Amino acid sequence: AMHLLLPLCVLWLLPLAWTLEEDSPLDCVPRRSFPYHRDNAHLFHEEGVFNYSTMLLREDLDLLLLGAREAVYALDLKDISKKLASVKWEVTQQQKNECKNKGKDLETECKNYIRILHQTEDNRMYVCGTNAFDPECHFIFHTEYIDLTLEKKGEDGKGKCPFDPFHRYASIMVENNLYTATSINFLGSEPVLMRSSPISIRTEFKSSWLNEPNFVSMTQMPEGYMSEEGDDDKVYLFFSETAVESYKRVAYGVFLCSQGDLGGQRTLQKKWTSFLKARMDCPVLESQLPYIIQDTYRFCDPQQDWRDCLFYAIFTPQSDKSDLSAVCAYRVSDISRVFAEGKYKTPVPVETSFVKWVMYSGDVPVPRPGACIDNAARKANITKTLDLPDRTLQFIKDRPLMDQAIQPIGNKPLLVRRGARFTRIIVNQVQAADGEKYRVMFIGTEEGTMLKAVNYDGEMFIIEEVHLFQTPEPIKILTFSNLTGQIYAGSDYGAAQIPLATCGRSLSCMDCVLARDPYCGWDKDVRKCVFLSNSPRGLIQSVKKGDASLCPEADPVKPMNRSIWPRGNLKLRCPSPSNLSKTSWERDGSPVMASTRLQLLQDGLLILNATDSDTGRYRCLSVELSKAGRYTATVADYQVSVAPAGSGDGSGILPKARMDGPSVAGLQAIVGLLVVSLLGLLAWNFYKGHLPLPWNCTKKKNEEQTQETREQGGLDAYQDAARSAPAEDKPLVSGANNGRSNNHTGREESDGPKVSLPSLQYIDDESEV
């Protein structure tokens, strides 16, 4: 009975497994993928300059300030390919030598990487660079009449800017107060979270505060603005570090009182008295592996209270064995509640040297450790942190970690995807045609692409993926301008500027609606897919369901005539409209089945060794599913004819040579004369010695060996150059591996045995013989 039960269980579980596979959120592929093209974005790149990873929007000046390696650029905000001004900040030869003597690489590390770029209240720009492992800060001036100017007098950048250009860091400028999270020493072994002015405050150097952190981002929340409790503004820092309680890399959020924290009187003197941190969870498919944080974006609706602001965070696994990335969203009110009301953790020594952290269940001092000075504290004559009792300060010094973790909205990610890891994120809100507001996520990846994704009532949907840069460099920064409605991205290679939507890429109403892009809709009057805010009329749009039945009936596709000679080859092109659609072919209304002579390719149909039976009407159909239904459209229509043997008419037909008629005798006479002339010419050249006789080949060969030896060096150099020259990129048509997703554009498959295929020639539908 057990032997019968096992196969029955397998058969019963197979449909369930197939269902799970079909509904897996990991199969969330972009609906459209756009390979790199210069028209995808406005690009900026200057020869010899790399690492365009620091940006400052100066919307008041219509400028994008861009920090790169040893340079700062002022670019036109509306078209960043136009450089308006620039200033170089290069290290001296002496600084390079000192850096090299300390064991750093002369060509990469011993340069000046711009890392801090902020606007001050007097409209200057504050800039800091790694400066060959000797951080330094300056002010930059810019006016309408003066180019970018670097102030000659510099400031020490230690604690403000990282020494190492490849270490993660975070910084913000709030009312001329600079907050930074970086390392304060050359070795990178002393991490610090610091406010530089007006009173310098920093973290305690303890592993329970910061333990090998990877700083990610920092932002300020105006929680003190018109607060009934008399609260202070907050600074939030996000980072990953090795957790003291588990020795695993874990994501954390840190809470600070931004303005009123002046440090303690005796305990925590010139140290933060409000430093609290809590673990951030982003449960990815119930995985037990910890996911580390890579970037965050603060989104606030201007019409709502700060408590309704959200933090969007990117998470990736710390192991290279997994290629999953996730986006989780957190409410600021939930984060604030963990710090204001949550329990603390406390260290407990165990038998070994290991220290275990458990929930603290003892008495909590008053005022509450880590809390900002508010009206309740002021009533107790505690008007500033210098007045806090030592018991409160000692508690926060020893127990900065909260017991409760910060949970995402819905206790699950908004988006999970397998593939190139996520690196950066920004979020923009748009009101769609249905009146609802949707938050669209723009996500940069480590392969230089940008995803555009929305979560529609729990459904993950990726609208498109665009390759921004020619080289697949990770996107290191993303920012957005409300003034221009443009997104700006930076990588090692350069900077890119792209709009929120390119609706014109959809050429039909069905494609426009199935794209489910909240920025775009179909305008029936102009018969175009247009930007929603640019049209005064109501547009056809269905973002939640993708209901293409709302579209008017499309114009029929006009058939194209294609001809082929007997035993010839012909390719009929049919590019797939989207990654979510499937194409199929029919001839004279009947489905076309793949065979040795009819090969179904990813982008068309290949007819080989044509015969009369291949004549007919070929239609390529696209089928795409959405939540509203199944939609079919004709992508291409061809009328194919095969010419009878001997005919010389018809488009694309190779005419048969005529072998009879009055011209044959004359042609034969001409050929005879040519043969006699050629024989005479050869005899004359042999006689004069212009051509070597066969028995002279050996002598000639010996004479040439000496010359060959002399020329071998040059020949070898020529062959090496030929080998290193890139081969011309030509398409290869074969029946195998043509069904792969176009998400891997530009990569070559190198796994598995290599098979040598015979040369295959065919007539493309765009060229005729």
Domain ranges of the chain: 42-168, 203-419, 423-494, 501-550, 560-642
CA distance 264 to 389: 9
Q: Is 488 within 8 Å of 481 (Cβ atoms)? A: yes
pLDDT at 537: 81
DSSP string spanning 275-320?
-EEEEB---STT--S-EEEEEEEEE--TTS-GGG-EEEEEEEESST
CA distance 557 to 622: 13
Q: Which amino acid is residue 698, in one-letter code?
A: T
CA distance 568 to 644: 12
CA Rg, the chain, in Å?
A: 35
End-to-end CA separation in angstroms for the chain: 69
DSSP string spanning 483-502?
TTTEEEEE-SS-EEEEES--
pLDDT at 354: 72
pLDDT at 420: 93
CA distance 619 to 588: 8
| Beta bridge pairs of residue 600 | 605
Domain 203-419 class, CATH top level: mainly beta
pLDDT at 321: 78
> How do strand 170-174 and strand 177-183 relate by DSSP bridges?
antiparallel
CA distance 718 to 725: 11
Query: With a cut of 50, which residues of the chain have pLDDT below it?
Result: 1-24, 648-664, 693-763, 765-769
Beta strands in 532-655 (DSSP E): 560-564, 570-573, 581-587, 590-591, 598-601, 604-607, 616-626, 629-642
Give CA torsion, residues 4, 5, 7, 8, to 10 deg.
110
Q: What is the DSSP letter of 212?
A: S
Please report which helix (H) or strand (E) contains residue 335, including its range. helix 332-341
pLDDT at 644: 76
Q: Which amino acid is residue 318, in one-letter code?
A: Q
pLDDT at 709: 38
Q: Is 160 within 8 Å of 171 (Cβ atoms)? A: yes
Q: In the CATH hierarchy, which fold is given to the domain comprising 560-642?
A: Immunoglobulin-like (2.60.40)
Q: Which of 203, 215, 222, 267 is nearest to 241 (CA)?
A: 215
Q: What is the DSSP letter of 68?
A: E
CA distance 444 to 451: 6
Whether domain 501-550 has CATH 3.30.1680.10:
yes
